[in-house]
């Protein structure tokens, strides 16, 4: 049996949230599932300038499929230069990937 959780978020949506060192929410972005995989996103992408400008040190995301089920949750930690230092992904089946 699939253990995916049905969320209260819209279907086919990715929610990205950026937090500063005080764990205050400083950026939030909601994009369609299609756009998430097809485009770049300022708080996640390789160019750290947006993260530096906003003071983002952690980004968390939820990826909800077209059925409104939670496919994936992730958290990325960044250093003071805006470069990723740790990433953790939890997939719907409970598999965890860390770098």
* CB distance 73 to 89 below 8 Å: yes
pLDDT digits (tens), the chain, 99 positions: 355 555 465 789 999 999 999 999 999 999 999 999 888 888 888 789 989 999 999 999 999 999 989 999 999 999 999 999 999 999 999 999 999
* CB distance 60 to 19 below 8 Å: yes
Give the per-residue pLDDT at 64.
93
Give the per-residue pLDDT at 42.
83
Supply 14's token pair: 């990715």
Give the per-residue pLDDT at 46.
75
Give the per-residue pLDDT at 45.
82
* Span between the terminal Cα atoms of the chain, in Å: 28
* CB distance 72 to 64 below 8 Å: no
Q: What b/e string do you get for 60-90 counting C-beta neighbours within 10 Å, with b at 16 or more?
A: ebbbbbeebbbbbbbbbebeeebeeeeeebe
Give the per-residue pLDDT at 44.
85
Give the per-residue pLDDT at 6.
52
Strand order of the β-sheet with 84-91 is: 25-32, 13-19, 58-64, 70-78, 84-91, 96-98
């Amino acid at each position: 049996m699939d253990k995916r959780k049905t969320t209260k978020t819209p279907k086919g949506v990715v929610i990205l949230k950026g937090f500063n060192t005080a764990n205050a929410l400083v950026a939030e972005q909601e994009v369609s599932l299609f756009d998430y995989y097809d485009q770049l996103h300022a708080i996640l992408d390789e160019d750290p300038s947006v993260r530096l400008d906003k003071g983002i040190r952690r980004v968390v995301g939820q990826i909800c499929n077209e059925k409104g089920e939670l496919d994936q949750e992730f958290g990325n930690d960044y250093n003071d230069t805006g470069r990723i230092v740790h990433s953790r992904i939890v997939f719907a089946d409970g598999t965890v990937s860390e770098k």
